[in-house]
Structure formats: structure tokens, C-alpha cells
Structure 1
Amino acid sequence: MNASEGVAPAIESILAAARERGGGDERVSVDARSLPAALSTAEADGRVPIIAEVKPTSPTTDGRRDADPVELATAMVDGGAAAISVLTEPDHFGGSPDALRAVRAAVDVPVLRKDFVLDESQLDTVEADAVLLIARFLDDLDGMIAAARERGFHPLVEVHTAGELDRALAADADLVGVNNRDLARLDVDLSTFERVSSAAPDDVTLIAESGIGSSEDARRMREAGADGLLIGSAIMDGDIAANTRRLTTAEVEA
């Protein structure tokens, strides 16, 4: 598989940098907080189950936010976030493993590691409760899912097409994120989740990723079957706690 074939230049650059990064010196072993359980608890409490993302910047975002990641994550939890996602990719997203370590020590909800993890050794970079695995960029998806689980991580397998969903399900993924962003053009279409997720079995936990900017978007993704929503820019732009609270109460206000 040529992972970078057909993707935008910005994604090619991210993949090139990821190939150059090493992994951890020692194999990690994680006593993970359950991401699916946290999403279910939020729903039972009457909140929209949101994974709020600490994202300093990205190739599709103008500017950079250099606030303390712990302060950001704490505000997100105060706003009702069920879990936190932390970018650890340094070159294009301004993230770091140190930021994730600090956030995970400060909050009591699950923390997702968001990065372009390309080989098993990179799983050992930092402990988290869940780790993102992007199906398109992994030849041995089965092996990476197994390796993540052996370390205690909950692997969140990201897909964008029906074919990638089939690969994820064949690899026994039970936590699947559908990315609404096209990695070739970098545009966003919320109908991607609606189209792709319709083929997922009921026992798979589904996360809608990218492009969720309003309460209306949140309701749309939930009505399409999303068990959780991964939201970054719409929360990071402005008052963190207020933005999170607005989105976690989207169904109450409908």
C-alpha cells in the first residue's frame, strides 16, 4: 500500500515526518480508562458524548493557541466532555507526548492519543487510554490493533470509506471513527459519516470526526448513529468551557 498516494501535500508532509520519528525506549503497559464506557456514561447523564480535542494548530487551522494544555483540558471536562483527545504530533499540529502526559495526570476521564502512528514502536511513545490508528496508512491493521490492545490501549480505528470500514471490521475493530474530512482535498462533508457508518454493526462504538462546528451538526451526527463526537476547532476557538457546554447540551436544547 502506498499510504501517501492521492492525499493532499499537507498530509504527505505529515506522513514523511511521522516516518522519521522513533518510538519509545520501553514497551508501555496501560491501565486504561474505558472510552466506550465514558461515552455511555455521558449519554446516561443527558450529555452529548463528546471527545474534546486539545489541538494547538493544524494544517487546516489559522494561527496557533499556546495555552496550557492542562488548563484547556480541565475547562473541557468542566464543560461536560466525556473524554479528551490530545495531539502528540509536533511538526504540523503543535502537539507533544509531554502535553498528553500532563493532561492525563490532571483529568479523570479517558485520554485519546491523536497522532499518525505508523509502526508498533511508536505505540510506546506515551501512555494513553486510547490511541488513534488510521486504517488508510496501516498495511498491517490487524497487527497494529492487536499490538495496541496488548499494551492496554483502546484502539480507535479511523476510516473514511466503506472499504476502509470493511478492513477495520475484518481486523476486529470495535471502536471506529469515521473522518468527515477528505484527505485528498481536505474538505469536510458530514454526509461521509452518514454514508459510511450505516454499514457498521450495532456492537461497534462509532465516533464522528471532523467538521462538527455547531449544535445542529452535533445533533445531525447523533441522529445518524454516532455514539460519540470528536470535536477540536469548534471548542478551541473562544471560551473553552462555554463552547464545550454548548455542544454537550445540544440535544437538551433541541
Structure 2
Amino acid sequence: MTARFLEALLAADRPLVMEVKRRDAHGYDLLGGRTPVAIVESYEAAGAPCISVVTGRWFGGTPALLRDVAALTDLPLLQKDFITRRDQLKTAVELGASAVLLTAALLPRSSMRTLITAALGNGLTPFVEVTEESELDGLPHTDECVIAVNNKDIKAKESDRGNLDRSLALLPALQAAGTPCPVSASAIDSPLAAARLLDAGFAGLLVGTSLLRTASASAWLDELDRARNSSVAARKA
């Protein structure tokens, strides 16, 4: 069994899951004429600990995109799609994933428990996504899971602007649930917002659209470093 994805995120100085996504929730192209090769290379140059690959059709994804990214990098990969069946877990492994998204808002409690256990049995880190505290009830193996707060509304196909206060409000519940890696995901639109979440105690962030729209992922990360250093200096003053 392996926990490559979880371990990579926890060990990173800049614990960002950087995302490969073809379109945003409104259908706008995010690649801007770039190839997945160019995106992955920019993330590796920026020191990405791991990469999320959106294979869900809402965002123009396909399973082939995950397979293609896996052929380009040795970094641990998260498959972002609507995983609802055990056979999808085996396919994720075959395509090169190290972790899979499991969305609490879309899965019955019994299915979530079954899929978390089955994912671990297939060597995959469960990336459990929640939007409210009640969705944490009864989750098994939380010490082996990434648990992430989705700052957007899944029922609106994530077409809203999102609410980072949801992450801040739910962070204590994530920590109490036992995950070693609480994550804030989606709607993180600037390095300043990212710094705020990391300073609050999140062990990782998932950032997609903001990084894909910037001219340089490395420059975005450098700005994050400056924001975090400024915050530390302000606390010491």
C-alpha cells in the first residue's frame, strides 16, 4: 500500500495541489493554447508536491487526460471526478492516480465508507471533500485520508464565486475528525488568500483556476511566500 499523495503534501514547504483543468465551471478555456505538457512542466518548475487532474466532463476532462499527465511526471496525482463505484478505483490506479476524489455531498454515507476503505485497499489516498460538518460523521480511516473543504457549491456545478469562510469555519471539525491533512479547495483566487488559509492551520490547498490563469506559476508561489513571510513578521512585531 502507498500514501504517496498524502506524504508528499505533508512534506511540502508549499503544500499546494496544483491542478490541470481544461475549462472552468462556465466553460471558459483555461489552457489558453498551452498543452498539458507545458502546464505540468510549469508546475514541476514551481515545486509542486502533487497534481490534481480533472477528468470530470463538467470541466472538459477525460480519463485520457489523467493517463497523459501520468506519462509526463512522477509526481503523485489526484483524479478529480465523480467516483461512485469500486471499479472506478481500479481504473484510477491503471490511469496513474495516487489519490481519488470522494465527494460527500454526492455519496450516501454507506457508499462513502465503502469507497474510502476500498480506495485504501487499492493503494489510493481518499481525498474526501465536504461542505458541512455533518458530512464528517462516521468517516472511517480518517488518519489515512485527506479531508478537504470545497469552498464552492457542488449543486451549482461550482459556478459560484465560492466562500473561503466555509473553510475557516470547518477547520476545527476537520482537525477533530483525525485527518493529518486538512485541505481547503477551490475559490482560492490569489496568493494572499492562500497565505491566509495556510496561516489559519490548513496543511494543504487545492488551487486550479487561479494558477492556470496566471502567467507564471512560480511567480504566484513566490508571491505566496512573501505574503506568508509578511504575516509571520506582523505576528512577531
Same fold flag (TM > 0.5): yes
Tell whether 2:123 aligns with 1:152: yes
Tell whether 2:12 aligns with 1:42: yes
Whole-angstrom distance in 2 between the partners of 1:131 and 1:53:
13
Uncovered stretches (5+) of structure 2, i.e. residues with no partner: 232-237
Aligned with 2:69: secondary structure?
A: helix
- Tell which deviates more after alignment, 212-221 or 60-69: 60-69
Aligned Cα root-mean-square deviation (Å): 2.1
- Equivalent residue, structure 1, for 2:228: 251
Q: Does structure 2 conserve the Cα–Cα contact (< 8 Å) formed by 1:218 and 1:247?
A: no
Query: Shift in Å at residue 33 of structure 1?
Result: 5.7
- Equivalent residue, structure 2, for 1:208: 184
Whole-angstrom distance in 2 between the partners of 1:237 and 1:115:
21
Whole-angstrom distance in 2 between the partners of 1:40 and 1:64:
28
Q: Deviations over 1:17-73 (max 9, x none)?
A: xxxxxxxxxxxxxx6561222123212xxxx21000001103245334253212211
Q: Does structure 2 conserve the Cα–Cα contact (< 8 Å) formed by 1:51 and 1:81?
A: yes
TM alignment of 1:19-168, pairs within 5 A? 32=2, 34-43=4-13, 48-60=14-26, 62-65=28-31, 67-89=34-56, 91-127=57-93, 128-139=97-108, 140-167=111-138
CA separation of 1:252 and 1:231: change in aligned 2, threshold 3 A: same
Count of equivalent residues: 217
- Equivalent residue, structure 2, for 1:192: 166
Query: Shift in Å at residue 253 of structure 1?
Result: 5.6
Aligned with 2:71: secondary structure?
A: helix
Query: Shift in Å at residue 227 of structure 1?
Result: 0.4
Q: Does structure 1 conserve the Cα–Cα contact (< 8 Å) formed by 2:18 and 2:51?
A: yes
Query: Shift in Å at residue 216 of structure 1?
Result: 1.3
Whole-angstrom distance in 1 between the partners of 2:135 and 2:26:
23
2:147 corresponds, among 173, 176, 192, to: 176
- Equivalent residue, structure 2, for 1:234: 210
Tell whether 2:178 aligns with 1:218: no
Query: Shift in Å at residue 251 of structure 1?
Result: 2.1
CA separation of 1:184 and 1:138: change in aligned 2, threshold 3 A: closer
CA separation of 1:247 and 1:157: change in aligned 2, threshold 3 A: farther
Query: Shift in Å at residue 244 of structure 1?
Result: 4.6
What letter matches 1:188 in structure 2? G
CA separation of 1:166 and 1:187: change in aligned 2, threshold 3 A: farther
Query: Shift in Å at residue 119 of structure 1?
Result: 1.6
Output the TM-score relative to the length of structure 1: 0.77
What letter matches 1:251 in structure 2? R
Whole-angstrom distance in 2 between the partners of 1:38 and 1:234:
22
- Tell which deviates more after alignment, 57-66 or 99-108: 57-66
Report 1 or 2 for greater relative contact order, CA contacts < 8 Å, sequence distance ≥ 6: 1
Higher percent of residues as helix? 2
Uncovered stretches (5+) of structure 1, i.e. residues with no partner: 1-30
Q: Does structure 2 conserve the Cα–Cα contact (< 8 Å) formed by 1:116 and 1:133?
A: yes
Question: Kindly, what percent of the aligned residue pairs are identical?
Answer: 32
What letter matches 2:211 in structure 1? I
Whole-angstrom distance in 2 between the partners of 1:148 and 1:103:
21
Whole-angstrom distance in 2 between the partners of 1:225 and 1:175:
14
